[in-house]
C-alpha cells in the first residue's frame, strides 16, 4: 500500500498518522499541541494542517497529527492554501495570547514565537483581544508561576501531570474562549494535590508555566560584600545542565560549573554530594535502628517499611495525599537541607562567622527544592538554612546574564577543605535507585555484611519504574528493598504498606522520571528517555571513576562526625539533620465539630 507526501511515495504503516509518516521522510510539519515523548496529540492547536486528497477524490485541509495515512492518499504540505490556513490559525492563537514577549520567561526559547516565524506570520498580532479580562499571573505556588494569558490550551501540562505523576493537579476548566487550564478553581498554591515537581514547566511550549525566577536575587547575593555566598551543587545538576548551555546530553560539566559560579562571584563553591554522604550516614543509621527493633520483636519477615525522604516532591505527595505514610518516612533531611544546616553551624563556627553572614545558594535540577527551602519545618531558630535555590535552567540564565560562556572556561575544582569531598555513592543520588545503592553500600558494611562498595548493585539500576532486590546482610539475613520513580509507582508500594502486605524493608522514591536527572528544573532539551539514559550513564561512570565509593569512607564526613556531630544519630545530628512532617491533606485542615465548638466558632444550642 502506497501513499504520497509532497510527491514522495512511501509505504503505509498500520496506525501511522500523516505527521509521523512525514517525520519518517524527514519532512517537518508545524506542530504546537502535539508532544511526541508523551504520545500527546489532543488536536487543539490546529497548526499541523495539510491538503489531503483521498482515494475517492475528496480534498480537505485537515490536521495531520490525528489523521491516519491511508492507501492512495496524496498529502501536500506546502501549497499556498495550506500556508495561508496555518497563518490564519496562528493569528487566532495570537489573538488570544498576551504578547509582552520581551519580558516573558520564555523569551528566546518560546515555541509559539518559533512557530510564528516558521509559518511566516506577517500581520500584526491582536494580543489578548478575545479575553482582555484574564487575571494576572498566579504566583501563589512556592516554585512555579502560571500565567493564563500565555496559555494556548495545548494540554501538554495536563498530560505530563497525569501521565508522569498520576496526580492530575492541572485540569482544563471553562468553555470556548474562556477555557483554560487551572487547579480545581483554586490558586496554584492552594492545590491539595500538586507536589511542585515542575514536570509541567518542562513541557509547556510558552511562558504560561514557568519557574519562579530568582536569578536577580542570586546576582544581588553574589555581589554583596556583606555575606559570604556558599554555593552547593546537586549531584544531578552538573550533568543535567549540559543541554541548557549547548553541550551534548550526558556531558558532566562539573568543572565548568564551578568555574562559572566562581566567576559570577561565589565565595565558596561546594558539593552537595558531600551532604549526600552525610545523609547516608544518618538515614543508614535510622534504617539499622529500625531493622534492629524488628529483629528484637521477631518481625523482620513482616517488614516495617521505611521510605527515603530526600525528594521533596515525594514528601509533598505524602503530606498532601498519603499522610498515613508519615511514620514510614525517614526523618533524615535531604542533602540540600543538611548542607544548609551545616553551612550555618559547622562552617560558620569554623570561619568565625554568624549564620546570617552566610548565604547558602543551591544549584538544583529540581523545582520542589525551592518549595523545600522555604518550609517552616526546615527552619532553625526561625531562619531558613538555604537562602535561595536556582534550578539548572535559571543557572544557565544566570551565566547568560553575567556574560559567561562556561563551555569556554577552564574547569576548576571545588573550594576546599570544607563540604566538598564526596564518594561515588553520593553521585548516584542523581538517579533513581542511587540513594538505595548508596545506602546499601554503607548499611551492608556497617551491619557486617559483604562489602558492596565499588561494585554496581545492578538490580536497582536502570530506568524501569520499579526495581526490587534482596540483599544479604550478616546481622539481619536477607533484607528486601525497592526503588521507584513517579508517584503512580510509589503509590503501588504505598498500597502494599497500607494493607500490611509490603515485603520491603527499605524503599527509595523519587518523583521525577529517572530521578533527579529528569527533574522539573533541568534543561527542557533533555526531556525523554534517550537523553535520560545518557545522563544516567554519566552518573554511573562518574561513580566508577571516583576514588571512594562508600559514604562512610568519605574522610571529610568522618571529620565532621569527629569534630562536630560526634556520631550519626547523635543529639546534635538529630537537632540539625532530621525533621518532622505534617499532615497537609485537606481533610486534616477541616476542623472537627468539637474543635469548632471549643473555638467558639459555633453557637451552642
Ligand atoms: S508541578 Fe508537578 S504535580 Fe504540580 S501541576 Fe506541575 S506536573 Fe502536576
Ligand atoms: S499552561 Fe502551557 S502546557 Fe498547559 S495548556 Fe497552557 S500552554 Fe499548554
Ligand atoms: S526526583 Fe529529584 S528533581 Fe524530582 S522532585 Fe524529587 S528531588 Fe526534585
Ligand atoms: S499539532 Fe496537530 S492539532 Fe496541534
3-state DSSP assignment of residue 412:
coil
Residue 156 CA: which ligand is closest?
2
Q: What is the pLDDT of residue 60?
A: 97
Residues 215-273+337-408, CATH architecture: 3-Layer(aba) Sandwich (3.40)
Q: Cα of 553 to ligand 2 centre, how many Å? A: 47
Structural domain boundaries in the chain: 2-119, 144-211, 215-273+337-408, 279-331+420-528+539-577
Q: What is the pLDDT of residue 599?
A: 58
Choosing from 33, 90, 118, 153 the residue with most ligand 4 atoms within 8 A of its CB, the one to mutate for a pocket test is 33
Q: What is the pLDDT of residue 327?
A: 97
Mean pLDDT (10-residue bins), the chain, 605 residues: 94 94 95 96 95 96 96 96 95 84 89 92 63 80 94 95 95 80 93 97 96 97 97 98 96 98 98 97 94 95 96 97 97 97 95 95 98 84 91 98 97 90 95 92 78 63 90 88 96 96 96 97 92 96 94 95 95 95 78 60 47
Q: Cα of 317 to ligand 1 centre, how many Å? A: 11
Choosing from 366, 393, 518, 522 the residue with most ligand 3 atoms within 8 A of its CB, the one to mutate for a pocket test is 366
State the Cα–Cα distance between residues 109 and 106, nearest whole angstrom. 5
Give the CATH number of domain 144-211. Answer: 3.30.70.20
Q: What is the pLDDT of residue 579?
A: 94
Contact 105, 145 (CB under 8 A): yes
The DSSP result for 34-84, as a single string, is -BGGGTB----S---EEEEE-TTS-EEEEESTTSB--TT-EEES--HHHHH
Q: Cα of 465 to ligand 4 centre, how many Å? A: 29
Closest approach atom of ligand 1 to CA 164? 7
- Quick one: which H or E segment has residue 602? none
Q: Cα of 432 to ligand 3 centre, how many Å? A: 10
State the Cα–Cα distance between residues 112 and 497, nearest whole angstrom. 45
- Owner of C-alpha cell 550513564: 537
- Copy the grid coordinates of residue 174: 471553562
Q: What are the φ/ψ torsions at residue 389 (nearest 5 degrees)? A: -120, 125
**Do the domains 2-119 and 144-211 sit in the same CATH topology, yes or no?**
no
Exposed / middle / buried, residue 382 (Cβ in 10 Å: 0-12, 13-18, 19+): exposed
Residue 336 CA: which ligand is closest?
3
Sign of CA dihedral 509, 511, 514, 515: negative
Choosing from 319, 516, 527 the residue with most ligand 3 atoms within 8 A of its CB, the one to mutate for a pocket test is 516
Q: Cα of 465 to ligand 3 centre, how many Å? A: 15
Give the CATH number of domain 2-119. Answer: 3.10.20.740
Q: What are the φ/ψ torsions at residue 482 (nearest 5 degrees)? A: -145, 150
State how far the alpha carbon of 138 is from the alpha carbons of 179, 203, 484, 502, in Å.
Answer: 16, 18, 32, 40
Choosing from 158, 200, 368 the residue with most ligand 1 atoms within 8 A of its CB, the one to mutate for a pocket test is 200
Residue 31 CA: which ligand is closest?
4
The interaxial angle of helices 111-119 and 80-95, nearest 10 deg, is 150
State the Cα–Cα distance between residues 466 and 122, nearest whole angstrom. 50
Q: Cα of 96 to ligand 4 centre, how many Å? A: 17
State the Cα–Cα distance between residues 476 and 296, nearest whole angstrom. 11
* Residues within 6 Å of ligand 3 by CB: 197, 311-313, 365-366, 368-369, 510-512, 515-516, 519
Sign of CA dihedral 387, 390, 394, 397: positive
3-state DSSP assignment of residue 320:
helix
The 10 Å Cβ neighbour count of residue 127 is: 16
Tell me, using a 6 A CB cutoff, whether residue 167 lines ligand 1.
yes
Contact 363, 234 (CB under 8 A): yes
Contact 548, 423 (CB under 8 A): yes
State the Cα–Cα distance between residues 186 and 192, nearest whole angstrom. 9
Sign of CA dihedral 23, 24, 26, 27: negative
What residue owns the CA closest to ligand 1's atom 6?
A: 200
- Owner of C-alpha cell 490556513: 85
- Copy the grid coordinates of residue 499: 494493607
Give the CATH number of domain 279-331+420-528+539-577. Answer: 3.40.950.10
Q: Cα of 19 to ligand 4 centre, how many Å? A: 9
Q: What is the pLDDT of residue 510?
A: 97
Q: Which residues contact 3 (CB under 8 A, 6 or more apart)?
A: 9, 10, 12, 21, 69, 70, 71, 72, 73, 74, 75
Q: What is the pLDDT of residue 605?
A: 38
Q: E strands of 190-289, at which residues?
A: 209-211, 228-233, 268-271
Exposed / middle / buried, residue 364 (Cβ in 10 Å: 0-12, 13-18, 19+): buried
Amino acid at each position: 500500500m502506497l501513499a504520497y507526501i509532497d510527491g514522495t511515495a512511501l509505504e503505509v504503516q498500520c496506525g501511522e498518522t500523516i505527521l509521523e509518516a512525514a517525520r519518517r521522510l524527514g519532512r517537518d510539519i508545524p506542530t504546537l499541541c502535539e508532544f511526541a515523548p508523551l504520545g500527546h496529540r489532543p488536536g487543539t492547536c490546529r497548526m499541523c494542517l495539510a491538503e489531503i486528497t483521498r482515494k475517492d477524490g475528496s480534498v480537505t485541509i485537515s490536521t495531520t497529527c490525528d489523521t491516519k495515512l491511508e492507501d492512495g492518499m496524496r498529502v501536500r504540505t506546502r501549497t499556498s492554501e495550506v500556508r495561508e490556513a496555518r497563518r490564519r490559525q496562528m493569528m487566532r492563537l495570537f489573538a488570544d495570547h498576551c504578547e509582552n514577549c520581551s519580558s516573558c520567561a520564555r523569551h528566546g526559547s518560546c515555541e509559539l514565537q518559533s512557530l510564528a516565524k516558521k509559518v511566516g506570520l506577517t500581520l500584526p498580532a491582536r494580543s489578548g483581544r478575545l479575553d482582555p479580562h484574564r487575571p494576572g499571573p498566579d504566583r501563589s505556588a512556592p516554585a512555579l508561576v502560571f500565567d493564563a494569558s500565555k496559555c494556548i490550551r495545548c494540554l501538554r501540562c495536563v498530560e505530563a501531570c497525569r501521565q508522569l505523576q498520576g496526580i492530575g493537579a492541572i485540569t482544563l476548566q471553562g468553555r470556548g474562549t474562556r477555557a483554560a487550564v487551572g487547579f480545581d478553581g483554586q490558586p496554584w498554591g492552594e492545590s491539595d494535590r500538586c507536589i511542585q515537581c515542575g514536570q509541567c514547566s518542562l513541557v509547556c511550549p510558552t511562558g504560561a508555566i514557568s519557574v519562579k525566577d530568582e536569578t536577580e536575587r542570586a546576582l544581588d547575593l553574589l555581589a554583596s560584600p556583606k555575606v559570604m555566598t556558599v554555593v552547593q551543587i546537586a549531584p544531578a545538576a552538573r550533568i543535567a545542565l549540559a543541554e541548557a548551555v549547548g553541550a551534548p546530553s550526558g556531558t558532566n560539566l562539573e568543572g565548568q560549573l564551578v568555574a562559572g559560579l566562581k566567576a559570577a562571584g561565589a565565595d565558596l563553591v561546594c558539593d552537595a554530594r558531600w551532604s549526600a554522604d552525610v545523609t547516608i550516614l544518618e538515614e543508614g543509621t535510622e534504617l539499622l535502628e529500625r531493622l534492629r527493633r524488628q529483629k528484637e520483636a521477631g518481625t523482620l519477615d513482616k517488614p516495617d517499611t521505611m521510605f527515603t525522604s530526600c525528594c521533596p516532591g515525594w514528601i509533598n505527595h505524602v503530606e498532601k495525599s498519603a499522610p498515613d505514610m508519615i511514620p514510614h518516612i525517614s526523618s533524615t533531611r535531604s542533602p540540600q537541607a543538611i548542607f544548609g544546616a551545616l553551612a550555618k553551624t559547622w562552617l560558620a563556627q569554623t570561619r568565625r562567622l554568624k549564620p546570617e553572614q552566610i548565604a547558602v545558594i543551591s544549584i538544583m535540577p529540581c523545582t520542589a527544592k525551592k518549595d523545600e527551602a522555604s518550609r517552616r519545618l526546615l527552619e532553625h531558630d526561625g531562619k531558613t538554612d538555604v537562602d535561595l535555590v536556582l534550578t539548572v535552567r535559571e543557572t544557565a540564565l544566570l551565566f547568560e546574564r553575567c556574560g559567561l560562556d562556561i563551555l569556554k572556561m577552564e574547569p576548576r575544582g571545588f573550594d576546599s577543605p570544607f563540604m566538598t569531598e564526596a564518594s561515588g555513592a553520593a553521585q548516584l543520588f542523581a538517579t533513581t535507585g542511587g540513594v538505595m545503592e548508596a545506602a546499601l553500600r554503607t548499611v551492608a558494611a556497617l551491619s557486617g555484611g559483604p562489602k558492596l562498595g565499588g561494585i554496581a548493585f545492578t538490580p536497582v539500576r536502570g530506568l524501569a519504574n520499579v526495581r526490587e532486590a534482596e540483599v544479604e546482610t550478616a546481622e539481619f539475613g536477607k533484607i528486601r528493598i525497592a526503588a521507584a520513580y513517579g508517584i503512580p509507582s510509589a503509590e503501588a508500594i504505598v498500597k502494599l504498606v497500607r494493607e500490611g502486605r509490603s515485603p520491603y524493608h527499605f524503599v527509595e522514591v523519587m518523583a521525577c522520571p529517572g530521578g533527579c536527572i529528569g527533574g522539573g528544573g533541568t534543561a527542557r532539551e533533555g526531556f525523554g528517555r534517550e537523553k535520560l539514559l545518557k545522563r544516567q550513564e554519566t552518573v554511573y561512570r562518574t561513580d566508577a571513576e571516583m576514588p571512594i565509593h562508600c559514604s562512610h569512607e568519605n574522610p571529610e564526613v568522618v571529620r565532621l562526625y569527629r569534630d562536630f556531630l560526634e556520631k550519626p544519630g547523635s543529639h546534635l545530628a538529630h537537632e540539625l539533620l532530621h525533621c518532622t512532617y505534617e499532615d497537609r491533606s485537606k481533610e486534616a485542615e477541616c476542623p472537627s465539630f468539637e474543635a469548632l465548638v471549643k473555638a467558639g466558632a459555633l453557637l451552642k444550642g
